[in-house]
Amino acid sequence: MNIKDLQKKQAAEAAIEYIKSDMVVGLGTGSTVSYFLDALAKSDRRIVGVTTSKVTSEHCAALKIPIIDIDEVDHIDVTIDGADEVDTYLNGIKGGGAALLMEKIVAKNSKENIWIVDSSKVHDTLGSFPLPVEVIPYGSGQLLRQFTDKGLFPKLRRSQIDNQPVITDAGHYIIDCHMTTINNPYALADYFESQVGVVEHGLFLNICDRVIIGGETIQIQE
């Protein structure tokens, strides 16, 4: 196992400490969450999960982790998710796995959000990971033009298998913005939120409460 995968597995296993039986647990998406699901299934914690993607739901079914629809619960105690990039304020970029919409809905409805990452994801400033933006297919070519004019270096995400546009679980496209540095993530989030046709963006600001990097935990100061 390479160092990144080892740190992802360590972070995933360390996150079990924050899970108690009978909790409603939001379950993110990605390879790090996959390690978390494996650790959860082996643990003595008996939880019910709210999933953020079809792939996570399928993994839960294979591991016999019970899941429930988000609208059937009155709260989510804690969500465990990965991230593509995280800065020193615990703001982050998510959506590398095209699950950012459901991930943000689950995160916003959680009492606590914990991210599990390897150390390569931590940077002083966001932007080295291309920022995913989920858009309605209709008119997405116009959004690509607007994002280009704004200097966001957008690219429609395509499948490596058939070169067709990637379709999210909710039936949308993903435009990845290759900016290299995001100096003002709040202003950029406001911009995306004001564009018709943008469903959601992968800037997760003031959402994460705690990040576990390999075995080390960093928490937002109250």
Residue 184: Cβ within 10 Å count: 9
Neighbouring residues of 6: CB distance < 8 A, sequence distance ≥ 6:
214
Catalytic site positions: 103
Alpha helices of 64-201 — where are they, by DSSP H? 100-108, 140-149, 185-193
157 binds ligand 5RP (CB under 6 A): no
- Minimum CB separation of residue 22 from ligand 5RP in Å reads 25
List the interface residues with ligand 5RP, window 25-44 (CB under 6 A). Answer: 28-32
Q: Structure tokens of 167?
A: 């379709």
Which residues carry a binding-site annotation for substrate?
29-32, 81-84, 94-97, 121
Decide: is 96 part of the binding site for ligand 5RP (CB under 6 A).
yes
DSSP element (H, E) containing 199: strand 198-201
Comparing CB distances to ligand 5RP, the nearer of 13 and 81 is 81
- Of residues 65 and 99, the one with the C-beta less far from ligand 5RP: 99
H or E, element range at 134: strand 131-135
Q: Which of 9, 94, 104, 201 touches ligand 5RP (CB under 6 A)?
A: 94
Phi and psi at 53, nearest 5°, equal: -165, 165
Please identify which residue in the block is written with the tokens 């689950």: 106
- Closest CB 4 distance from ligand 5RP, rounded Å: 8
Q: In angstroms, what is the minimal distance from the CB of 151 to ligand 5RP?
A: 24
**Edge-to-edge strand ranges of the sheet holding 216-219:** 48-51, 24-27, 76-81, 110-117, 210-213, 216-219
13 belongs to the binding site for ligand 5RP (CB under 6 A)? no
Q: How far is CA 177 from the centre of its chain?
A: 16
Q: Does 100 bind ligand 5RP (CB under 6 A)?
A: yes
- State yes or no: residue 172 binds ligand 5RP (CB under 6 A): no
Point out which residues bind ligand 5RP (CB under 6 A): 28-32, 81-84, 94-100, 103
